[in-house]
Structure 1
Amino acid sequence: MSEYSIQSFIAKTKQNDAEHDYFELEKPQLLEINLKNQFVWTKAGSMVGYVGNINFQREGMLSGGLGNLLKKTLTGEGAKLMKAEGTGRLYVADSGKKVQVLHLENDSICVNGNDILAHDQTVTNQITMLKSVAGMMSGGLFQVKLTGTGHVAITTHGDPLTLMVTPENPVFTDPNATVAWSGNLSPELKTSVSFRSLIGRGSGEEFQMKFSGNGWVLIQPYEEVYFQQK
């Protein structure tokens, strides 16, 4: 059989039937979720395929109130969650970004809202905000705190790096390159006048997120720019 035959191609790329974990990394950029008469929250528009009997229902990032207000103010209509319920194999991805799977054990993490791919029904989500961030940066910078016990899948451009935060060594990050951080940290938004003077008002480097205390911050080698939808 030729190396480039259709049969060879299928053998190299077909789904592995031996894998049955709830959240399974089928490929570095592709997450398989094995549903057994249950539901999961996924990023709206992330479904690329499924096998079985799965129903989909589109929802807001949070149901009503402050969540919808912040979503409309900061992200237009682009950041929504989709409820997938039933039995089968669901495949989700987001623009070719790498998928990172975490299992929370009665824990909490904060994630940039655009970088959440999926989370278990047992994990709750709550929008958190930096003070005055809406007036200082363009749309897209909002965070969702995920709390509980269960699986969480987040996405990164390229391979991420975790920076450890200690009281002696606070960590400063570019908001557009910051993906997630430990739930006990409360970042501050810091303005750098020197960067603004040196580079110009259009540069994102004039704002940094400052993390103090004990914890960790996950950054990616890419500055993700978000645009509001009219």
Structure 2
Amino acid sequence: MRSELFSADNLEKESAQPGLRLQNSKLLKAELNGEFMARVGSMVAYQGQVQFEALGSGGIGKFLKQKLTGEGVPLMRVRGHGDVFLAENAADIHLIDLDPGDALSINGSNVLAFDSSLNYDIKMVQGAGMMSNAGLFNCVFTGHGRIAVTTKGTPVVLTVDQPTYVDPQAAICWSASLQTGYHRAEQLGLGTLLGRTTGERFTMSFAGQGFVVVQPSEEPPGGLAGAGGGGQQQEGILGNIFGN
């Protein structure tokens, strides 16, 4: 049987080392010898002796935070020996290696899989307020290991060494050490009162030293979306629970 489908580009990629790696830009391969964590429902194929165990959000504390905020990662533990292939709606997949002392703040809906050696918690995004469609909360990963994240389209990684502003619906992840806030991008005036708007009312601001990953798509992230009245009061109450 002959077909371009069977070209070397589409054949399974082999490696002598276990762990998470890219099969291609939209497919993650986990060469499994032990365990790792993955988003529920992300498995598309596997070979070998593999077990899947649903974990919810990864513990009762994270479960309660996820219920309060809508943020988090519905997880399964994958363990055994073999090869596991993961994907998420044909999104682009990117690998990030964290070293001790690193901390990555990421939208939970963009987490595909990560090494079980990593820890994560749900944290309030400082300075977010309740004034946009962006979530107030993100997952913060720390420890030593690899994490696979997804983007809709090819992202740009901005080095934050000067004031940086990003559409909050396009910001995927960033260095957790950065100072964040919200900046009014559109000036109020007669045009605004008449219903004319640029569609860019607020941008998310970043300051400090680090990076922010921006995807070429604006989609409301998971998490508590901007609400109407009582926002500052709600932020204060939740801040006491999720303060970092």
Q: How does 1:39-118 map to 2 (within 5 A)?
A: 39-65=35-61, 67-75=62-70, 79-106=73-100, 107-118=102-113
For 2:67, what is the secondary structure of its paired residue? helix
For 1:89, what is the secondary structure of its paired residue? strand
Residue aligning to 1:32:
29
For 1:187, what is the secondary structure of its paired residue? strand
Separation (CA, whole Å) in 1 of partners of 2:197 and 2:70 = 20
Letter in 2 for 1:90: V
Identity of aligned pairs, percent? 31
Whether 1:205 and 2:200 are equivalent positions in the alignment is yes
Letter in 1 for 2:164: V
Whether 1:171 and 2:174 are equivalent positions in the alignment is no
Residue aligning to 2:147:
152
Q: What per-residue deviation string (whole Å, max 9, x for no partner) do you get for residues 146-172 of structure 1?
A: 111111111111111111112xx2111
Residue aligning to 2:237:
none
Residue aligning to 1:161:
156
Q: What per-residue deviation string (whole Å, max 9, x for no partner) do you get for residues 160-208 of structure 1?
A: 1111112xx2111111100111121131233456279389699873232
Q: 1:190 aligns with which of 180, 183, 202?
A: 183
Please, what is the CA RMSD of the aligned residues? 3.0
Q: Is the 8 A contact 2:152 2:217 kept in 1?
A: yes
Separation (CA, whole Å) in 1 of partners of 2:6 and 2:143 = 39
For 2:5, what is the secondary structure of its paired residue? helix
| C-alpha distance 205-74 of structure 1, shift in aligned 2 (>3 A) | farther
Q: Is the 8 A contact 2:106 2:140 kept in 1?
A: yes
Q: Is the 8 A contact 1:30 1:99 kept in 2?
A: yes
Using the size of structure 1 for normalisation, the TM-score is 0.81
Whether 1:22 and 2:19 are equivalent positions in the alignment is yes
For 2:157, what is the secondary structure of its paired residue? strand
Shift in Å, 1:140: 5.2
Whether 1:128 and 2:123 are equivalent positions in the alignment is yes
Shift in Å, 1:73: 3.5
Residue aligning to 2:242:
none
Shift in Å, 1:32: 0.1
For 1:42, what is the secondary structure of its paired residue? strand
Please say which of residues 83-92 and 14-23 is displaced more in the overlay: 14-23
- How many residues get paired? 219
For 2:140, what is the secondary structure of its paired residue? strand
Separation (CA, whole Å) in 2 of partners of 1:199 and 1:105 = 51
Q: Is the 8 A contact 1:141 1:175 kept in 2?
A: no
Letter in 1 for 2:152: H
Whether 1:221 and 2:202 are equivalent positions in the alignment is no
Letter in 2 for 1:218: V
Shift in Å, 1:109: 1.2
Separation (CA, whole Å) in 2 of partners of 1:201 and 1:131 = 30
Please say which of residues 182-191 and 14-23 is displaced more in the overlay: 14-23
Segments of 5+ residues of structure 2 without an aligned counterpart are: 224-244
Separation (CA, whole Å) in 2 of partners of 1:50 and 1:137 = 40
Shift in Å, 1:19: 6.5
Letter in 2 for 1:179: I
Q: What per-residue deviation string (whole Å, max 9, x for no partner) do you get for residues 124-149 of structure 1?
A: 11111125858444585531111111
Letter in 2 for 1:63: G
